[in-house]
């Protein structure tokens, strides 16, 4: 395992990871057919994730972040379907594969963990057996080897007394322990990448920290990549080196987390940063974003954020800005990305000062 | 508990020391207080256990808490799930009858459920506004029912007062004729706040009012609560697990752990110089934008938290 994690992977913040990406999305569209129209939830999202890298996908409810992740894992909830673009896993395009073959290929490269660990686990099976299931069924291990492997995995995710916990049922464990078991199950097929959909949202802060530490350690020590979907900018900031910000089904800004947090170049990112309360400094007024997210049942003309954007100009309403590079990995889908000093008010302030001190 | 708690044992006297200052400057008299509050829940136990005559398990949700809320002040009550903060707030709102201890509204002890006049003093805002609203009643119907039942305004003026309340929480006028399901999460929370404010309470007890909302919406609700507190002179008991939100909104905070208050004090004092180990652990665990928590504390804290 250690051969995977030399040099650059140990400092993902400073050195971009090279090599074959484990997951590539190219212009993926996801639509949900509804009685009164088609809800275009994900609109041409492209992203790339490597082993050993932590990528954050941030956005508010309805931004399409979870569906993007589920599209990648071929776990879209019915009736949502991928209607455009391609999903490339470990160098192979899976979009055209037969379903069984696609699942096989995807699950050998990636695994997913969910927000609600209790519903993700089988309530009638002992947790050890659930962790041993993949080694036994798919990797073809003997009963005792699978058990040993499961115990290993439980230790790896920080579960003490694995021998005793092995026989526990999910309801006997705390929320943090359940999420650890889910991570252990995700690891059991030795994936290169873990896709995590709000894995710590339901957990208390102290437990959240422990779970994030487990994911961080797996990435540093074993080179397991992470795509983390969350609405919590603080969690992303302490976990992920790269960041994609989504709004209205599209990626509106992407780049290194540090850069995005210190010099956002999309007014939405800037506004979002200023609306998060800071535990270390009380400001008596939080920035709010007026208006509501776009109606994804309708076609969106121009920039989806334009109706709520303080820096809006006429062009934004008619022409959609492409996700254009600002140098290096930093890209923003804003016509005014190159002139943040001319954005008005708090958004302009946030763009120039960021929130990193 | 390490005995550093300023609140244990000494009743409400030590808390109400005159040094407390609020954003608005002055601190009034006590509007809500709990003293020696204990709330135990008795489990049913298993059928087998009952047959064998085993005593049912008792959950000590709140185990001896003294707190005082002063006029015009916001008291943040923080802690993790299961620490008893919601139970405490429900006792304070008169929704539970405590196992032991006293709840006082405006210095008058509560005997059992609050009567109509007492209900008007203290109102509650819940985490999930949707499940706390009647889905079959329009916003206008919900609000006018309260106004009529409590005879707050003459019947002829109910409609106008509903309009005022809706306006007060920043909803469009047409909201009065709509059902709760046609509103977004943030708007539903505004309805929940309007419902609580209909009784013109002096105290608002808010139990995780922004936890289910997106950050940008969360900010609008926090700002709304700050505004209302200012304009209406409300006192607020703000219950949350989110340390960052509590920091924004509270004048004082009380940290709960395992049914007792382990630390209490001015918000900035507790955040900057926490005395209790648990408070330190809690603060060290809060994820921060662009900052890892202090390594020494964090390491020690994780060790402790794993136990």
B19 found inside a domain: no
Kindly state whether residues B200 and B257 are assigned to the same domain: yes
In angstroms, the CA A236 to CA B106 distance is: 45
Whole-number average pLDDT of chain A: 88
For range A51-69, the mean pLDDT: 92
Kindly state whether residues B300 and B167 are assigned to the same domain: no
In angstroms, the CA B28 to CA B203 distance is: 13
pLDDT > 90: what percent of chain A?
61
The CA distance from A205 to the nearest CA of chain B, in Å, is 6
Q: How does DSSP classify residue B270?
A: H
pLDDT above 50 for A19 = yes
Domain boundaries, chain A: 20-240, 269-353
pLDDT above 60 for B247 = yes
Cα nearest neighbour of B288 on chain A: A234
pLDDT digits (tens, 9 = 90+) for B145-191: 999 998 889 999 999 999 999 999 989 888 999 999 888 888 999 99
Which of A38-47, A113-122, B283-292 has the weakest average pLDDT? Answer: B283-292
Is A279 or A87 the better-scoring residue by pLDDT?
A87
Kindly state whether residues B298 and B157 are assigned to the same domain: no
For range B287-296, the mean pLDDT: 56
**Ranges assigned E (strand) in A178-284:** 193-197, 225-230, 242-247, 250-256
Print burial letters for A159-190: b (CB count within 10 Å at least 16), e (below 16): beebeebbebebeebebbbbbbbbbbbbbbeb
How much is the ipTM here?
0.76
B13 found inside a domain: no
Kindly state whether residues B192 and B293 are assigned to the same domain: no
pLDDT above 80 for B229 = yes
Asked if B244's CB is within 8 angstroms of A234's CB, the reply is: yes
Which pLDDT score is estimated for B294?
32
Which of B287, B295, B300, B305 to probe by mutation at the A interface, max A CB count within 10 Å?
B287
Domain with B296 in it:
279-307
In angstroms, the CA A222 to CA B104 distance is: 57
Kindly state whether residues B220 and B286 are assigned to the same domain: no
Which pLDDT score is estimated for B290?
72
Provide the number of CB pairs (under 8 Å) joining chain A to chain B: 129
What is the domain count for chain B? 2
B4 found inside a domain: no
First to last CA, chain A: 37
Cα nearest neighbour of B79 on chain A: A204
Best CA proximity match to B257, nearest among B85, B83, B36 = B83
- Torsion, CA A174, CA A180, CA A181, CA A182, rounded to 10: 110
φ/ψ of residue A217, rounded to 5: -70, -40
* Confidence tier at B8 by pLDDT (50, 70, 90): very low
Kindly state whether residues B286 and B302 are assigned to the same domain: yes
Which pLDDT score is estimated for B214?
84
Kindly state whether residues B162 and B130 are assigned to the same domain: yes
pLDDT > 70: what percent of chain B?
86
pLDDT digits (tens, 9 = 90+) for A234-275: 899 989 999 999 999 999 999 999 999 889 999 999 999 888
B145 found inside a domain: yes
pLDDT digits (tens, 9 = 90+) for A118-146: 899 999 999 999 999 999 988 889 999 99
Q: What topology is assigned to A20-240 in CATH?
A: Rossmann fold (3.40.50)
In angstroms, the CA B99 to CA A162 distance is: 39
Best CA proximity match to A349, nearest among A287, A276, A258 = A287
Which pLDDT score is estimated for A197?
93
Asked if B244's CB is within 8 angstroms of A237's CB, the reply is: no
* Confidence tier at A18 by pLDDT (50, 70, 90): low
Query: How many CB atoms lie under 10 A from the CB of residue B56?
Result: 13
Kindly state whether residues B247 and B283 are assigned to the same domain: no
In angstroms, the CA B226 to CA A254 distance is: 34
Kindly state whether residues B200 and B283 are assigned to the same domain: no
For range B122-141, the mean pLDDT: 90
Alpha helix segments (H runs only) across B28-92: 47-51, 85-92
In angstroms, the CA B281 to CA B300 distance is: 8
pLDDT above 80 for A4 = no
B76 found inside a domain: yes
Asked if B226's CB is within 8 angstroms of A278's CB, the reply is: no
B25 found inside a domain: no
The CA distance from B33 to the nearest CA of chain A, in Å, is 26
Which pLDDT score is estimated for A158?
87
B47 found inside a domain: no
B1 found inside a domain: no
Kindly state whether residues B145 and B195 are assigned to the same domain: yes
Q: How does DSSP classify residue A121?
A: S
Kindly state whether residues B112 and B169 are assigned to the same domain: yes
Kindly state whether residues B122 and B253 are assigned to the same domain: yes
């Amino acid at each position: 395992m250690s051969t995977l994690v030399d040099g650059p992977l140990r400092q993902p913040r400073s050195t971009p990871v090279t090599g074959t990406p484990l997951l590539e999305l190219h212009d993926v569209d996801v639509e949900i057919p509804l009685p009164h129209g088609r809800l275009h939830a994900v609109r041409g999202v492209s992203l790339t994730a490597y082993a050993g890298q932590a990528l954050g996908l941030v956005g508010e409810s309805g931004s399409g972040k979870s569906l993007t992740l589920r599209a990648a894992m071929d776990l879209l909830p019915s009736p949502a379907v991928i209607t455009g673009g391609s999903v490339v896993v470990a160098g192979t395009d899976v979009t055209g594969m037969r379903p069984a073959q696609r699942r096989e290929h995807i699950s050998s490269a990636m695994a997913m963990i969910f927000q609600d660990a209790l519903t993700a686990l089988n309530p009638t099976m002992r947790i050890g057996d659930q962790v041993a299931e993949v080694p036994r069924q798919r990797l073809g291990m003997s009963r005792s080897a699978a058990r040993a492997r499961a115990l290993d995995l439980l230790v790896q995710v920080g579960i003490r007394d694995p021998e005793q916990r092995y026989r526990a049922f999910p309801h006997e464990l705390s929320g943090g322990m359940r999420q650890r078991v889910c991570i252990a199950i995700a690891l059991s097929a030795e994936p290169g990448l873990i896709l995590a959909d709000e894995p710590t949202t339901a957990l208390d802060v102290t437990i959240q920290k422990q779970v994030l530490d487990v994911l961080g350690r797996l990435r540093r020590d074993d080179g397991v990549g992470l795509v983390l979907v969350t609405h919590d900018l603080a969690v992303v900031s302490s976990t992920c080196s790269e960041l994609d910000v989504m709004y209205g089904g599209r990626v509106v800004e992407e780049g290194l987390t540090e850069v995005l947090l210190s010099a956002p170049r999309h007014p939405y990112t800037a506004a979002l940063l200023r609306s998060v309360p800071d535990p270390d400094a009380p400001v008596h007024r939080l920035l709010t974003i007026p208006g509501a997210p776009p109606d994804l049942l309708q076609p969106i003309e121009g920039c989806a954020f334009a109706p709520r954007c303080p820096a809006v100009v006429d062009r934004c309403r008619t022409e959609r800005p492409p996700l254009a590079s600002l140098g290096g990995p930093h890209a923003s889908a804003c016509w005014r990305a190159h002139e943040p000093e001319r954005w008005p008010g708090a958004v302009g302030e946030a763009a120039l000062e960021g929130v990193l001190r | 508990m390490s005995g550093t708690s300023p609140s244990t044992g000494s009743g409400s006297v030590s808390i109400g020391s005159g040094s407390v200052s609020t954003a608005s400057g002055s601190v009034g008299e006590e509007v809500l207080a709990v003293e020696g509050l204990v709330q135990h829940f008795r489990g049913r136990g298993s059928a087998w256990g009952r047959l064998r005559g085993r005593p049912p398990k008792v959950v000590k949700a709140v185990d001896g808490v003294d707190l005082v809320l002063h006029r015009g002040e916001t008291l943040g009550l923080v802690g993790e799930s299961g620490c008893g903060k919601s139970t405490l707030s429900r006792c304070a709102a008169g929704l539970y009858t405590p196992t032991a201890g006293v709840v006082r509204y405006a210095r008058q002890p509560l005997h059992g459920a609050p009567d109509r006049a007492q209900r008007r003093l203290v109102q509650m805002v819940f985490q999930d506004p949707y499940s706390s609203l009647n889905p079959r009643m329009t916003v206008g119907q919900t609000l006018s029912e309260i106004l009529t039942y409590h005879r707050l305004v003459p019947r002829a003026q109910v409609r106008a007062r509903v309009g005022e309340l809706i306006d007060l929480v920043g909803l469009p006028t047409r909201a009065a004729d709509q059902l709760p399901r046609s509103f977004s999460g943030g708007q539903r929370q505004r309805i929940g706040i309007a419902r609580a404010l209909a009784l013109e309470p002096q105290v608002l007890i808010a139990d995780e009012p922004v936890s289910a909302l997106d950050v940008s919406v969360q900010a609008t609700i926090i700002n709304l609560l700050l505004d209302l507190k200012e304009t209406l002179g409300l006192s607020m008991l703000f219950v949350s697990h989110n340390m960052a939100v509590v920091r924004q909104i509270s004048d004082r905070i009380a940290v709960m752990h395992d049914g007792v208050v382990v630390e209490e004090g001015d918000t900035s004092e507790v955040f900057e110089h926490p005395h209790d180990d648990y408070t330190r652990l809690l603060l060290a665990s809060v994820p921060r934008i662009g900052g890892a928590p202090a390594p020494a504390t964090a390491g020690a804290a994780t060790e402790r938290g794993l136990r």
